[in-house]
Amino acid sequence: MRVRIERDDELGRYELFADDRRAGHLSFRLQGDLIALDHTEVHDRYEGEGLASDLARRALDEARERGMGVLPFCPFVLGWMKRHPEYLDLVPENQRSRFGLDGRG
């Protein structure tokens, strides 16, 4: 399966394509130097393929490249970050307790 992820700033979404078919998205909102990651959705037919993880990784890697902080409102993204603690530093220190990340990252 060929996977492609495109960022659409107008829609506020990372669009996920699998073999050129829209397979899901991760919605976001830009707030100054922060990106709020709100909701991850992958179509049922792709469940278990790791595509939601691909979306999370892409959004977080881009946030790091752009020097942006991350607000992980999406439960999937927050859980993914907890399993990949190398990304926890992206959550601003003064926002960590809001996401149950006190003393981590």
The series of mean pLDDT values per 10 residues for the chain, 105 residues long, is 95 96 98 98 95 98 98 98 98 96 66
pTM above 0.75? Answer: yes
Rounded Cα–Cα distance for residues 70 and 55 (Å): 14
- Tokens (6 digits) for 40: 């991850």
Contact 92, 85 (CB under 8 A): no
- Tokens (6 digits) for 58: 């892409």
In the chain the domains, ranked by start, together with CATH numbers, are 3-99 (3.40.630.30)
What per-residue confidence (pLDDT) applies to 102?
A: 80
- Quick one: what percent of the chain has pLDDT higher than 90? 94
pLDDT digits (tens, 9 = 90+) for 76-99: 999 999 999 999 999 999 999 999
